Structure 1
């Protein structure tokens, strides 16, 4: 089931004509938009402002959008355009009557060769769709969304976590070399009091290595703060999630 924190709920319907009037739709795509899409609802906003979670190195906030269809099909080009225009990472829940599927269109980045291609689940009963917040920061939450959609572990660029892992491995390597040196000294002929000190140092070093190997980052608390104050009128709402559309409106 779709189980997202109550504090992240937005549930605002976006004015449909704004999309096909101001986004970069060809006549064919505009017709597809009108014929295929009944409405677009901004369902959830996942961010440090709406729940207790850390901002990621790559992902600052995630929008969950529900697209209600008139028939059980949607032109993938429509999703790619919507994904490019939304000013944050987005997850799309596509719904037709009691059926639904979840999609994620990749954000085009310098080192992401996937461009704006979409990953998606199969059509299934809407009640059987799975989407849950899992992770200690928004990078992990987004990666887990991808796993829930594709069934595969997909990582996004995250230099901070990689740096921590490499520093941890380097520290363990140095400590391992130090233990080998102490064990070699233990086997040499040295005064008894020196041997006692080495035995104590060796014991402490092994305990520290074990602690580092088994250590895990402190999990994020699951307390739910009050829902953030979201814009009330349509223009402010659109400006928050579709800033390029508002720029075109202001040019008129």
Structure 2
């Protein structure tokens, strides 16, 4: 459940053609936009005023942009272009049939997992829009409990999440290679690498990296 205050609800549909005409898109991305995107609407607008916040911050407005997709395999570069060319901070709610996922752009594009529309969740936490924005990024980008529980800056958390994701890929790739390898010496080398990757993972999980 996306638990935003009633005062932030907008539900304003944006004409797709008018929307993408204001973006600097390559021909390929414009074609993807037309073929992949169904509807776009501003679901919520978060501001200092409608959230009754006291402090002024660099972040002036955060928009929850709801996008209904025509197909699940959506070109994420479109979201990057929208986010980079928009003056507001944007959280994307992507929907396809009965599934949904969240996305947010912060130096790079981060996604949540696809899940049932009923299971999608976002909550507001923080005393300023800057803090609220950081916590929205955390909710979308972080998916390892060991990282979520660390009391450190957003940038450090994202760095450690990225390292965990990289190590998970290496572990899966190395395990698969070790199972297929027939030569004992090469298999031993792969298992040695595998143990090193797992050790690095443990160090991150226990806050030693």
Normalising by structure 2, we get a TM-score of: 0.66
Structure number with greater Rg is 1
RMSD: 1.6
Deviation at 1:120, TM superposition (A): 1.1
Deviations 1:182-237 (A, max 9, x none): xxxxxxxxxxxxxxxxxxxxxxxxxxxxxxxxxxxxxxxxxxxxxxxxxxxxxxxx
| Superposition map of 1:1-252 within 5 A | 1-55=1-55, 57-106=57-106, 114=107, 117-151=108-142, 152=147, 155=154
Structure 2 CA distance for aligned equivalents of residues 98 and 138 of structure 1 = 31
Structure 2 CA distance for aligned equivalents of residues 60 and 130 of structure 1 = 23
Number of residue equivalences: 147
1:42 counterpart SS class: strand
Deviation at 1:54, TM superposition (A): 3.5
Deviation at 1:142, TM superposition (A): 1.0
1:75 counterpart SS class: coil
Structure 2 CA distance for aligned equivalents of residues 134 and 37 of structure 1 = 30
Deviation at 1:122, TM superposition (A): 0.8
2:34 counterpart SS class: helix
1:78 counterpart SS class: helix
Deviation at 1:150, TM superposition (A): 2.0
Stretches of structure 1 that go unaligned for 5 or more consecutive residues are 107-113, 157-252
Moved over 6 A (4+): none
Correspondence for 2:207: none
Structure 2 CA distance for aligned equivalents of residues 37 and 84 of structure 1 = 18
Deviations 1:101-121 (A, max 9, x none): 111112xxxxxxx3xx11110
Contact 1:3 1:132 in 2 (8 A): yes
Q: 1:137 to 1:96 in 2, by over 3 A?
A: same
Stretches of structure 2 that go unaligned for 5 or more consecutive residues are 156-209
Normalising by structure 1, we get a TM-score of: 0.55
Deviation at 1:61, TM superposition (A): 1.5
Structure 2 CA distance for aligned equivalents of residues 78 and 93 of structure 1 = 14
1:140 counterpart SS class: helix
Correspondence for 2:193: none
Deviation at 1:56, TM superposition (A): 5.2
Structure 2 CA distance for aligned equivalents of residues 55 and 77 of structure 1 = 34
Where relative contact order (Cα < 8 A, 6+ residues apart) is larger, the structure is: 1
Q: 1:148 to 1:125 in 2, by over 3 A?
A: same
Structure 1 CA distance for aligned equivalents of residues 75 and 90 of structure 2 = 17
